[in-house]
Amino acid sequence: MKKHIILFSLSLIFSCKSIKDTSLLNDSSKMSFNNNNSSIINSLSKEEKSKLDSLSSIFGQSNNMVLHEKDAKLIDHIINLQSGDTIVLSNLSVQTLTRGQTSSYEYELKKDDVIYFEFNNDGFNKIDQISILEGDQIRFAKSNLKRKEVVKGSFKVLDDNMVVINVKKNGFFKSNLKIDFKKIVKNYRTIAIKDSVVGTEIVNQKIIDTVFNLEKDKFFSLKPYIDITSSNKLSITIPFDNKNILGWGFWFSLYPDDIIDYQNSYETLGEDPLKSFARLEMNGNNAPISLPITSNPYVESILDQKNYLIPSPRSEKNFNFYIKDSLSLTELKNENLKLENFSKLYDFKITFKLIKVIANTRIVEKEVEVIKNFVKIEKY
């Protein structure tokens, strides 16, 4: 018999210690939550705190209020400072069970419900254990509630959950317990309101124009390769002094008829043929090209390419267009277009045309409508 008494005493000691520790943890969690709310309010400026006090007072006396959108960050604080609606969940006077049996009372609650509870031992015997569980988490625990002792407290529900009150009484004698359990529900919602146009204002707007810049024609001469007095090779430098190059292209003539055909195309299009070609390439348009193609079999051209550029798939010996990769952040280096004459007898007079496509950024003033936005808080 003595052995059983010792085991029962040890079991009771460990049980009480476990409950006490859990209660301390939950008290610490509640303190942390409250301190966090206080620190957020303390982070407000003096002007914001004064405004918060005024708005909270006004809202407390009415069912709705409209705030300017610039004060929207105060909404949560305003709502938290309101008392909300009190709903009594239970006001019970119950008799405990005995011999270690547990009485349970369940309540389905919503996230952010604020719970207030009070337990009053109205009997002649102590109650061994009272606990409140939210799901699997203990939110309150009390051991050895003595005769006529009252304990009360509050907590905020963490999530939509079942909250259970458990009352346990050991021994052979019952006791009486008064349970006061209620919740504070903050039934508020916010609605965004767009007011009518209240005026206009001038704002700066960035506009990017795509400029097709035709440079001045250049003229060169290519001698036959057996001419020892002059070179049969030519290197034309393509400078890129503008950082906002989107693409560039060229066309050159080798015969006088090439120039005549170019002029005829100009008259037909109503636009420079090289500019038209550049526009088609930049827009990914596969419409027919109006640039004259030379029939000269003697002159070859090659670009000494130093930049990662995408050439036109519709290029010919005497024209091409190159587009800069839109993801590339590197500045373009100067290019060199090389021409070589393989004819033994003929020399050629070359007209060289160059176009560069440039992104030109400009700032313009624009008049825009001013619309006031508000946020409405209302009780529902």
Distance between CA atoms of residues 42 and 39, nearest Å? 5
Question: Which pLDDT value is given to residue 232?
Answer: 95
**30 Cβ contact partners less than 8 Å away, ≥ 6 residues apart:** 155
Distance between CA atoms of residues 321 and 289, nearest Å? 12
Question: Which pLDDT value is given to residue 272?
Answer: 97
What's 215's DSSP letter? P
- Strand partners of residue 162: 108
Helices (H), 240-304: 256-269, 273-282
| CATH 2.60.120.680 domain span(s) along the chain | 2-43+83-186
Closest CA to 169 of 226, 203, 215, 124: 124
Question: Which pLDDT value is given to residue 30?
Answer: 44
Question: Which pLDDT value is given to residue 36?
Answer: 47
The sheet with strand 101-109 has its strands ordered as 101-109, 161-169, 127-134, 137-145
Distance between CA atoms of residues 153 and 15, nearest Å? 22
pTM: 0.48
The sheet with strand 176-185 has its strands ordered as 85-95, 176-185, 114-121, 150-156
Instruction: Give domain 2-43+83-186's CATH superfamily.
Output: GOLD domain (2.60.120.680)
In this structure, what token pair is assigned to residue 167?
Answer: 């009352």
Mean pLDDT per block of 10 residues along the chain (380 residues) reads: 35 36 42 48 72 72 70 66 76 93 94 90 94 94 93 91 94 94 77 65 89 96 91 94 90 96 95 97 93 93 89 95 85 93 94 96 86 71
In this structure, what token pair is assigned to residue 325?
Answer: 């990769």
3-state secondary structure at position 373? strand
Asked if 85 contacts 78 with a C-beta cutoff of 8 angstroms, the reply is: no
Place of tokens 């209302």: 378
Strand positions, DSSP E, the chain: 64-68, 85-95, 101-109, 114-121, 127-134, 137-145, 150-156, 161-169, 176-185, 188-214, 218-222, 233-238, 245-253, 299-304, 309-311, 319-324, 335-341, 348-379
State phi, psi for 190 to the nearest 5 degrees: -115, 145
Considering only CA atoms, give the Rg of the chain.
43
Burial class of residue 227 (count of CB atoms within 10 Å of its CB; 0-12, 13-18, 19+): middle
